[in-house]
Amino acid sequence: NGTTCGLKEIMIGRCYEYQYMKYQLFLTNQSNVKNCTQLYQAFESAVRYKPYCNMNMSTYEKYFQLALSGVHVINRAMFWSGTYGVTHAYSADGANYITLEDTLAAAMANGLVWCGNENHTDGFDFFSCPNNCKDNRWADLAFWGLASKTFAQLAAGEIYVVLNGSHANDRPAFRNNSYFSDFELPNFRRTGEYRVTKINILLLHSPDKNVTEKCGEKSLVQLENLILAQGFQYACKDDPEELILIMCGNQWKARECQIARHVLRQA
**Do residues 142 and 116 make contact, with C-beta atoms less than 8 angstroms apart?**
no
Q: Does 82 bind ligand N1C (CB under 6 A)?
A: yes
Give the binding range for ligand N1C (CB under 6 A) out of 44-52, 62-70, 176-184, 193-201: 176-184
Q: Measured from the CB atom, is 146 or 260 closer to ligand N1C?
A: 146
Q: CA-CA distance, 104 to 24, in Å (whole number)?
A: 12
- Containing 171, the helix (H) or strand (E) segment is none
Give the binding range for ligand N1C (CB under 6 A) out of 178-186, 212-220, 229-237, 254-262: 178-186
- Containing 84, the helix (H) or strand (E) segment is helix 84-91
Q: Measured from the CB atom, is 62 or 88 closer to ligand N1C?
A: 88
**Do residues 6 and 13 make contact, with C-beta atoms less than 8 angstroms apart?**
no
Q: CA-CA distance, 250 to 261, in Å (whole number)?
A: 13
Q: Does 47 bind ligand N1C (CB under 6 A)?
A: no
Give CA angle at 195 (189, 198), nearest 5°.
95
**Do residues 46 and 60 make contact, with C-beta atoms less than 8 angstroms apart?**
yes
Q: Does 180 bind ligand N1C (CB under 6 A)?
A: yes
Q: Does 145 bind ligand N1C (CB under 6 A)?
A: no
Among 28, 75, 178, 187, binds ligand N1C (CB under 6 A): 178
Q: Does 188 bind ligand N1C (CB under 6 A)?
A: no
Q: CA-CA distance, 64 to 190, in Å (whole number)?
A: 21
Tell me, by CB under 6 A, how many residues bind ligand N1C.
14
Q: Measured from the CB atom, is 53 or 123 closer to ligand N1C?
A: 53
Binding region for ligand N1C (CB under 6 A): 79-82, 84, 100-101, 144, 148, 151, 178-180, 184
